[in-house]
Amino acid sequence: MAELSDRMKRLIQPHLAGIEPYDPNFTPTEVNLSANENTYELPAGVRAAVDEALAATPLNRYPDPLSDELRDELAAWHGVSREMICVGNGGDELLYNFLLAFGGAGRTLLTCPPDFSEYAFFASLAQTSVERIWRDEHTFELKRDELLAAAARADLVILTSPNNPTGDVVPPALARAVCQACPGLVMIDEAYGEFADAGASCAALLEECDNLVVLHTLSKAFGAAGIRCGYVMAAPDVIEVFGAVRQIYSVNVLTQAVALAAVRARDAFAPVIEQVRSERARLFAGLQELAAACTPEGTVWAGQGNFLLVRLPQASRVRQRLRDEHSILVRDFSYAPGLADCLRITVGTPEENDRLLAALRAELGQ
Ligand SMILES: *Cc1c(COP(=O)(O)O)cnc(C)c1O
């Protein structure tokens, strides 16, 4: 594991001395199913609308700090007011700002791992303690009673729905109970929300829970990970804080233009999302067959995102062989607590999924 030089360990803020330098170790492959990007082409017409919007965007002026045009479009879509939305440079910036503004020394963030590793990372940057209520080790279900008891003493809660990497959703009734139990703010990270079943979103709870923050991104369903655009929805006074702590020009003019064109064309993404969902079902069936042949450890979890989590014998080796022999990249979680021998596989196009399944069959001798 890489570490800082001794000199930097002395110079950096003490609570950051254990931080790891960024590891750019990345092997380009023909098929990349490792980062839960949308691997489908932008819907017909959307790319043209995006290009037109970019061509019409002056570059010499600073961006509108709050992305008001985009906020208005998002607000109309979600049936909330502009004052309930803050746009960020990807969901990641908003997650960091959430911890920066509401965390800090002496405060505790409650999470339910295995979940998105950035939460604990941003908490550590912001000197926020993390309390973990681990999910059931076999089913990855949330432990409702323990979660509610811990929420009552937490300053912040983040739950992920669908969860990355386990794929399950937080029932809105449970999210409501967590909001009622927690004296602080509760974020529901719905980065993959568009891929979930109807009724899974917690956004409707914003009307009754003034301590709820719902995070969305254009990186996944909208196929726009490259532009870096996410947004939070919350009560206006919460949004004021998000607006106050952010770097004023973090969402650049090109991002705002592309995001606005994409969100205006949101209906055109419905067929892509439908196809990802049906490919997810097909991939699930294929992985289930493979996993069943790998008794006793083989398992695949039914997920509601654009990815699936599968446990296979010698997962790290399988992942390496997929990369080196088949030019397919998937994400290895073997090293992560609770995820021994687990791989997370993004749902790709039908051709990509076929290629993945064939490679896995070859590697597992089936
Ligand atoms: C991808 C992802 C995000 C946000 O990603 P951005 O690209 O920064 O918008 C947030 N939460 C989870 C769980 C994710 O997987």
Q: What is the pLDDT of residues 321-364, one digit of tens each?
A: 999 999 999 999 999 999 999 999 999 999 999 999 999 999 99
In a 13 Å sphere around the CA of 323, the CA atoms on its Cβ side amount to 17
- CA 283 – CA 353 distance, rounded (Å): 7
> What backbone phi and psi angles, to 5 degrees, belong to 109?
-100, 130
Can you give the pLDDT at residue 81?
Answer: 97
Can you give the pLDDT at residue 295?
Answer: 80
Can you give the pLDDT at residue 2?
Answer: 85
In whole numbers, what is the pLDDT of the chain averaged over residues?
Answer: 96
pLDDT at 174 over 80: yes
The beta-strand segments (E) located in the chain are: 31-32, 85-88, 108-111, 129-132, 156-160, 185-189, 212-217, 230-233, 299-301, 307-311, 328-329, 331-332, 342-346
The pLDDT-based confidence of 136 (bands split at 50, 70, 90) is: very high
Distance from Cα 216 to the centre of ligand 1, integer Å: 8
Distance from Cα 294 to the centre of ligand 1, integer Å: 32
Distance from Cα 167 to the centre of ligand 1, integer Å: 13
Ligand 1 neighbours, Cβ below 6 Å, are 36, 90-92, 116, 160, 164, 189, 191, 217, 219-220, 225, 230
Name which residue sits closest to atom 14 of ligand 1, judged by CA.
191
Per-residue pLDDT averaged across 200-208, rounded?
97
Distance from Cα 365 to the centre of ligand 1, integer Å: 35
Distance from Cα 10 to the centre of ligand 1, integer Å: 32
Name which residue sits closest to atom 1 of ligand 1, judged by CA.
191
Distance from Cα 94 to the centre of ligand 1, integer Å: 10
Can you give the pLDDT at residue 181?
Answer: 98
Q: What is the pLDDT of residues 45-104, one digit of tens each?
A: 999 999 999 999 999 999 999 999 999 999 999 999 999 999 999 999 999 999 999 999
Per-residue pLDDT averaged across 5-24, rounded?
93
pTM as predicted: 0.97
Q: Given the CA of residue 92, which atom of ligand 1 is nearest to it?
A: 8
Per-residue pLDDT averaged across 27-52, rounded?
95
Name which residue sits closest to atom 4 of ligand 1, judged by CA.
91
Q: Given the CA of residue 305, which atom of ligand 1 is nearest to it?
A: 15
